[in-house]
Structure 1
Amino acid sequence: LRGHEGAPLVVGDTMYLVTPFPNIVYALDLTKPGPALKWKYEPKQDSNVIPIACCDVVNRGVAYADGKIFFNQLDTHTVALDASTGKELWKVKQGDFKQGQTITMAPLVIRDKIITGISGGEFGVRRFVTANDINTGKQIWRAYSTGPDAEVLIGKDFSSPYKSHQGKDLGVTTWKGEEWKHGGGTTWGWYSYDPELNLFYHSTGNPGAWNPDQRPGENKWSMTLFARNPDTGEAKWAYQMTPHDAWDYDGVNESILVDLTADGKTQKVLVHFDRNGFAYTVDRTNGKVLMAKPFAHVNWAEDINLETGLPIENTAKRTKQGANTPDICPGAMGGKDQQPASYSPRTKLFYVPTNNICMDYEGMEVNYMAGVPYVGAIVKMAPGPGGNRGEFIAWDATTGTKKWGIKEKWAAWSGALSTAGDVVFYGTMDGWFKAVDARSGKELWKFKVGSGIIAAPMTYLGRDGKQYVAVMSGVGGWSGLVVAGDLATDDPTAALGAVGAFADLGKDTTKGGMLYVFAFDGAPRRTASK
């Protein structure tokens, strides 16, 4: 009964899903009522991994290819199962949780490779993204977030339109001494793939430690969007969104690939809603930022300079060691966290679950020790302007403007689902599953589930010709850890500051773990306890 952040996956007549730790995988037969369980895979994991997961023991889903189901365990194992029987086909260890490494992300399959990142930004471990063979599990390549070009996989084909991104071994020279060796740059977010360009896109997280005074410099390649060749791992381009991050604006959120038309010109872009509160529209062929506008309340920076690609910082909100910097917006949870946005080609709008959380932040000196938290900051979060802790918005990436918004009492921590019927679905932390009009934001329907929703909804067409929408409930994650982890609420700095903003969440929701499936008319068809 911890945070359920993933989405079910439907292949044919079977639904697959994975739970938080201990990461049990279920295969459900959609042709039978109940639904009937086809098989269950329950891995054996060391429970000592639980306290290593900074922000709950979540798992964001499974992947499918070539008759196989792939998923990641919290203890850093990637596993391949026979999709028909649940039989384990192979299992490889990607890291060592005793060093502070975990995996919470859903893997991405590209042809004969499965691509996986790593979590643990609060433990100062140097992070990476890895490609393994889908048939054997053999490692094909690994690209690090920090270090020399040869290890970041920056080669002769790499280019950047920005001067600050040009030069040799910036993953070393933009750090003090050997700080890059435990510089973080986690890779636990959502990945996207463009088959026409043969590039996949991922981004990296915060540098370690959270105390910025310990690591002068731009700290490349933390907080960076990467475009990589999936065959070799070689970087085509990179763009660092928050150089020398002083706020824990973990840059791992999803990048949505679309072709947008503005002023009569169509461009291949990616749209990235970053934790730092800016929505970036980026030319995905070369990494040039075309537009960057705040989509949430932002006061740490005034703007993004499109010529240099650099943020224009508000120096009054730069954090420092030994001094408290108050009322920084957004807080470390960001203008949005990992909860994925969606796009509708019908409305040309993006639908974005956002947070309205600010923070006080004081850096403090911390020494690195493998397997021990490497944070170096005291953080206290609180609701942002207006008091609502979240908002679900529609965003126009061609103009950089919000078209409408629905204020929520709690952070909008679920994913978004947009449909061809101009209906958008999302969930709330107090347990409402909602359908709204994609063009106006008008609420069309809602259903109260048993626990808060922090998962992404999905839709599928049943054998009976009906459209179904599925979502998992189960509050948790960083924002819901006060409930999922049974935390005391008397220390507002607990859970890396989350308790300060979410201490009263337990009044509106409780722990849970349930799968809900609705027919397209909104009537619940079945539920399955997990």
Structure 2
Amino acid sequence: MRLRTQGAALAVLSALSSQAFANDEVLKLTADPANWAKQEGDYANTRYSKLDQINTSNVRDLRVAWTFSTGVLRGHEGSPLVIGSMMYIHTPFPNNLFALNLDDENKIVWRYNPKQDASVIGIMCCDTVNRGLAYADGRIFLHQADNAVVALDAKTGKEVWKAQNGDAKKGEAGTMAPIVIKDKVIIGISGAEFGVQGHVTAYDTATGKRAWRGYSVGPDDQILFDPEKTLSLGKPVGKDSSIKTWTGDQWKIGGGTVWGWFSYDPDLNLVYYGTANPSTWNPAQRAGPDGKQIDQKWTMSIIARNPDTGVAAWAYQMTPFDEWDYDGVNEMILAEHKINGKTHKTLVHFDRNGFGYTIDRANGELLVAKPYDPDLNWSSGVEMDKSKPNYGRPTVVASKSTFLGGPDVNTKNICPAALGFKDQQPAAFSPLTGLYYVPINNVCMDYEPFKVSYTPGQPYVGATLSMFPPEGTSNTGHVIAWDAVKGEIVYSHDERFSVWSGVLTTAGGLFCHGTLEGYFKCRDQKDGKELFKHRMPSGSIGNVFTYEHGGKQFIGAYSGVGGWAGIGLAAGLDKPTDGLGAVGNYAGLSDFTALGGSLTLYSLP
């Protein structure tokens, strides 16, 4: 435990010493725990706060300090930002922003109400969510639903520049929180369910001019892979590493979108993120010309890029030839761990496919790949023997393959469901314990592919899904503590519904999260014991955050049920297979919560 804790501390100190390689203001602001200056807490995506005024001995005394209604329904993901005495609040579509002065009774200093075509709602597959804002150099950066990347003056809310990141008519949409690295703001794109070609793009923070764009699939000059220098599991990817794993021009509508979270290592000067599913969800339509499986790189992958040029240093595909919609977009958490006697700068990733990965983030070496939920049944494991030709690949259980069964065959009881044992709701790391605290969707599915035609701007899914809890249980959620060195669950606590809220860890020994039915909870990091619980106005899919103002620590989260898990409530759907299969699994949610949109902050008396 001591080695893990010391390693994590060294990683944090190393990041803070590398100011020449990152945005200086962002580093300075995130080093001060009084701020919550990034959606992820820091560049390493640890979601850990050094604040300890609220701790395991007094958290039971928390009281509601204040609340704020956003005036918007639908799912509220992400969290506000706090920079000094200012708080910046965002909403789902229409992506309204509020700047609040914490020194003046939370007075609204400015509002930003973008004018967007409401038709964009129709191409947002899993609710009209937005995962939050970025701040740097006196500006607020927003990625709107209609794909506009906007820079606003943080003091006045006035638009400084606007860049168009995608085309809604093709099914592209904006849901992701940007990241600012040096003089660039970097953002991805949503829309794999509409057959778009996913990409990540960097814009100049001062002018909005595009600096580079790296696609997930396509020719080397589009994906910005160097055939000789870009590595995958220690070997050069070679020429045409992506298009040679597609049939014909399928890659042009191949998906691999990017809508989760970025992290960044200033020492290595690498930005990390994951790519989403290939299009369509019907694997038979993506098979090779001989009717056999084909990898379809670089969907379902972790990619490390140089933020200055966009060129990829390494990539690792977690789920080749995806048959289950196991998007790889979940966060990458950066720390240091000693594994097999060697200290590694690691990247820890809890993939939707149910495996928890520990990877050397310098070169992409696979160190650990183990299930973080015992109900995983679509694969018997990931091959870890480097001498084997299938090294790094999951071994698929034939009875859970939606491809081997063929089109129009309903493959039963696949675990996890398409929304994964964890979706984009971020986990957190604590240097106090060296453990990771993970929100879990305890959900399985039946999956029936069908033939679908591609039309720009129209759904390109090609599968009908039904979701349900694993056999023998009625709860659809857990929270767990995870040992990323051993690849083991340290402990697990059940929740009635999936935990679709991002976790926060603090120096007070706490980890806190929201619940889908609307509770705000804080637990002891050591054993997960529930120490505080309070009901918020609506179900929470927001990420818990904390800050200090006036000498007092505040902690809180958005409530506003929605997202994929809450799409039935958010969009008024009631057919069990609606919402890409989620509605039936969460039918009972309406007995506990209703739509809302608010922020709740807690503090000690």
Coarse TM-score class (shorter-chain normalised)? over 0.9
Aligned to 1:353: 439
Structure 2 distance, partners of 1:370, 1:269, is 40
Give 3-state SS (helix, strand or coil) of 1:208's partner: coil
Please, which of 499, 510, 513 is the counterpart of residue 583 of structure 2? 499
Structure 2 distance, partners of 1:170, 1:492, is 40
Aligned to 2:376: 298
Q: What do the CA deviations read for 1:495-529 (whole angstroms, capped 9, x no partner)?
A: 1101121112111110000111111x3x6xxxxxx
Give the residue type in structure 1 aligned to 2:241: L
Structure 1 residue 441: deviation in Å?
0.5
**1:233 counterpart = 2:302:** no
Aligned to 1:10: 82
Q: What do the CA deviations read for 1:188-221 (whole angstroms, capped 9, x no partner)?
A: 1100000000000011000000000111210101
Structure 1 residue 167: deviation in Å?
2.7
Number of aligned pairs? Answer: 516
Aligned to 2:299: 222
Q: Is the Cα–Cα contact under 8 Å of residues 275 and 337 in structure 1 kept in the other structure?
A: yes
1:310-321 pair list within 5 angstroms: 310-320=393-403, 321=407
Q: Tell me the TM-score normalized by structure 2.
A: 0.84
Aligned to 1:447: 534
Q: Is the Cα–Cα contact under 8 Å of residues 234 and 363 in structure 2 kept in the other structure?
A: no
Give 3-state SS (helix, strand or coil) of 1:173's partner: helix
Q: Is the Cα–Cα contact under 8 Å of residues 6 and 60 in structure 1 kept in the other structure?
A: yes
Please, which of 301, 326, 329 is the counterpart of residue 252 of structure 1? 329
Structure 2 distance, partners of 1:356, 1:364, is 26
Structure 2 distance, partners of 1:162, 1:299, is 28
Give 3-state SS (helix, strand or coil) of 1:478's partner: coil
Please, which of 442, 446, 450 is the counterpart of residue 364 of structure 1? 450
Q: Is the Cα–Cα contact under 8 Å of residues 70 and 107 in structure 1 kept in the other structure?
A: yes
Structure 1 distance, partners of 2:340, 2:323, is 37
Structure 2 distance, partners of 1:303, 1:252, is 20
Aligned to 1:344: 430
Identity %: 54
**1:43 counterpart = 2:128:** no
Q: Tell me the TM-score normalized by structure 1.
A: 0.96
Q: What do the CA deviations read for 1:347-366 (whole angstroms, capped 9, x no partner)?
A: 10100001011000011111
**1:515 counterpart = 2:599:** yes
**1:67 counterpart = 2:138:** yes
Structure 1 residue 109: deviation in Å?
0.3
Q: Is the Cα–Cα contact under 8 Å of residues 95 and 114 in structure 2 kept in the other structure?
A: yes
Q: What do the CA deviations read for 1:454-473 (whole angstroms, capped 9, x no partner)?
A: 010111111x2111112110
Structure 1 residue 134: deviation in Å?
0.3
Q: Which has the higher contact order (CA 8 A, sep 6+)?
A: 2
1:12-411 pair list within 5 angstroms: 12-33=84-105, 35-155=106-226, 156-161=228-233, 166-216=237-287, 217-296=294-373, 297-306=375-384, 307=386, 308-320=391-403, 321-385=407-471, 386-411=473-498
Structure 1 residue 161: deviation in Å?
2.6
Structure 1 distance, partners of 2:231, 2:341, is 27
Structure 2 distance, partners of 1:198, 1:275, is 26
Q: What do the CA deviations read for 1:136-178 (whole angstroms, capped 9, x no partner)?
A: 1000000001101111000143122366x73321211101111
Q: What do the CA deviations read for 1:441-494 (whole angstroms, capped 9, x no partner)?
A: 1111111101000010111111x211111211000000001111111x2x2111
Give the residue type in structure 2 aligned to 1:238: A
Aligned to 2:63: none
Structure 1 distance, partners of 2:376, 2:590, is 28
Q: Is the Cα–Cα contact under 8 Å of residues 124 and 183 in structure 1 kept in the other structure?
A: yes
Q: Is the Cα–Cα contact under 8 Å of residues 382 and 395 in structure 2 kept in the other structure?
A: yes
Structure 2: unaligned runs, 5 residues or longer: 1-72, 288-293
Aligned to 1:527: none
Give the residue type in structure 1 aligned to 2:99: A
Structure 1 distance, partners of 2:219, 2:191, is 21
Give the residue type in structure 1 aligned to 2:96: I
Structure 1: unaligned runs, 5 residues or longer: 524-530
Structure 2 distance, partners of 1:483, 1:507, is 11
Give 3-state SS (helix, strand or coil) of 1:49's partner: helix
Structure 1 residue 264: deviation in Å?
4.5
Structure 1 distance, partners of 2:339, 2:510, is 25
